[in-house]
């Protein structure tokens, strides 16, 4: 099966039916191992046990940006290549991305209170991630507001491309401005500054949450294809009844 | 495993993440059931896809 074959929704549905059980199983195993490793990780010499929040906060924060990146590629697929599944992928990813961004914000806030003494600070990193969350909500509202999926897809694709400008701002906000948030400690020039005792559980959780996103995204894309099939059959039924 | 004086923050974080993941899974699973149910209803009403296949056929 080639990538071109996946442009056919029927072939995509048959592929996801075969892949989803394996993906779900791998996700469950990795997340279980990740949660166990996180529970067993040692306390940090400065942060104590609150460092455990990192194992759920950081993967969700990475995915919050990654999902928008996926939607940006899908937006290009809609506007440039007119791939039939591009807008399905974009629409299916938005609620999952919103949920992951919400988790990044809330777990960050719960980590910030004991470490910084405040749940929230209007600094560059926190504010730019909040804007990302609001853009996810805006995108979901836009999809619901326009009845015709192909018209909604074009408007959503443009909004997604505009929103992508926020991604480098989020990534580099800790370097460009003074913020309470610490600078990058895993993905940085010169390698990770995290000790292996924290890095390994963090990477396992990151892969586990990434697989979770892929699994949920494929399942949500399958639902969206079925929803569109329902819509076209309902229109067909209505025109048959009118004739 | 002692979580220290900030145990409530740690436990709340993990509980929220677990709850949100379960909500997402349940929402997607219920949506799938709903779409399949609607397709079955259309099929029972005699609506056939242009390809000639039944509504619920993949």
pLDDT tens-digit map of A84-101: 899 999 999 999 999 999
CA distance A99 to A95: 6
B28 to A212: CB separation less than 8 angstroms, yes or no:
no
3-state secondary structure A115-173: HHCCCCCCCHHHHHHHHHHHHHHHHHHHHHHCCCHHHHHHHHHHHHHHHCCHHHHHHHH
CB B49 within 8 A of CB A233: yes
- How many domains is chain B built from? 1
- Name the band, by pLDDT with cuts 50, 70 and 90, for residue A219: very high
pLDDT higher than 70, residue A3? no
Write down the domain spans for chain A: 54-178+210-237
CB A53 within 8 A of CB A111: yes
Q: Please check whether residue B35 lies inside any domain of the structure.
A: yes
B49 to A233: CB separation less than 8 angstroms, yes or no:
yes
Q: What's the gap in Å between the CA of B19 and the closest CA on chain A?
A: 10
Q: Please check whether residue B3 lies inside any domain of the structure.
A: no
Contact residues on chain A for B49, CB-CB shorter than 8 A:
229, 233
- Residue from A47, A110, A208 to probe the interface with B (highest B Cβ count within 10 Å): A110
| DSSP track, A203-224 | HHHHHHHHHHHHHHHHHHHHHH
Q: What's the gap in Å between the CA of A37 and the closest CA on chain B?
A: 12
Cα dihedral: B23, B25, B27, B30 (round 10)? -140
B10 to A53: CB separation less than 8 angstroms, yes or no:
yes
B37 to chain A, any CB pair closer than 8 A? The answer is no
Contact residues on chain B for A114, CB-CB shorter than 8 A:
5-6, 9
pLDDT higher than 80, residue B55? no
Quick: pLDDT tens for A12-55.
Answer: 898 999 999 999 999 999 999 999 999 999 888 888 889 999 99
Q: What is the pLDDT of residue B30?
A: 98
Q: Please check whether residue B27 lies inside any domain of the structure.
A: yes
A110 to B9: CB separation less than 8 angstroms, yes or no:
yes
Helices (H) and strands (E) in chain B, counts: 1, 0
Q: What is the pLDDT of residue A100?
A: 97
CB A107 within 8 A of CB B11: no
Higher-pLDDT residue of A209 and B55 is: A209
Contact residues on chain A for B9, CB-CB shorter than 8 A:
50, 53, 110-111, 113-114
Which residue among B16, B35, B58 sits closest to A230, beta carbon to beta carbon?
A: B35
The residue assigned the tokens 């306390």 is A43
Instruction: Tell me what the mean pLDDT of segment A64-78 comes to.
Output: 96
pLDDT higher than 60, residue A233? yes
Domain that holds residue B27: 8-58
B44 to chain A, any CB pair closer than 8 A? The answer is no
A15 to chain B, any CB pair closer than 8 A? The answer is no
A107 to chain B, any CB pair closer than 8 A? The answer is yes
């Amino acid at each position: 099966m080639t990538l071109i074959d996946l442009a056919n929704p029927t072939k995509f549905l048959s592929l996801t039916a075969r892949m989803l059980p394996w993906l779900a199983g791998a996700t469950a195993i990795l997340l279980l191992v990740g949660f166990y490793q996180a529970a067993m990780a040692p306390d940090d010499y400065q942060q104590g046990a609150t460092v455990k929040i990192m194992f759920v906060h950081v993967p969700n924060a990475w995915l919050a940006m990654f999902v928008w990146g996926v939607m940006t590629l899908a937006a290009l697929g809609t506007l440039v290549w007119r791939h039939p599944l591009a807008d399905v992928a974009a629409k299916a990813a938005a609620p999952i991305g919103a949920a992951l961004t919400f988790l990044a914000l809330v777990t960050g806030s719960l980590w910030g209170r004991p470490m910084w003494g405040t749940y929230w600070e209007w600094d560059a990193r926190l504010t730019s991630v909040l804007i990302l969350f609001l853009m996810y909500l805006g995108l979901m509202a836009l999809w619901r507001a326009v009845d015709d999926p192909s018209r909604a897809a074009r408007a959503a694709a443009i909004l997604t491309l505009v929103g992508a400008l926020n991604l480098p701002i989020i990534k580099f906000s800790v370097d460009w401005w003074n913020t309470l948030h610490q600078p990058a400690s895993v993905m940085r020039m010169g390698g990770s500054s995290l000790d292996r005792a924290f890095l390994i559980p963090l990477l396992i959780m990151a892969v586990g949450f990434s697989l979770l996103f892929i699994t949920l995204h494929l399942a949500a894309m399958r639902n969206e294809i079925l929803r569109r099939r329902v819509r076209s059959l309902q229109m067909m039924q209505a025109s048959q009844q009118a004739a | 495993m002692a979580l220290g004086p900030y145990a409530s923050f740690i436990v709340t974080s993990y509980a929220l993440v677990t709850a949100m993941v379960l909500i997402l899974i349940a929402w997607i699973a219920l949506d799938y059931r709903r779409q399949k149910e609607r397709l079955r209803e259309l099929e029972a009403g005699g609506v056939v896809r242009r390809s000639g296949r039944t509504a619920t056929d993949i």
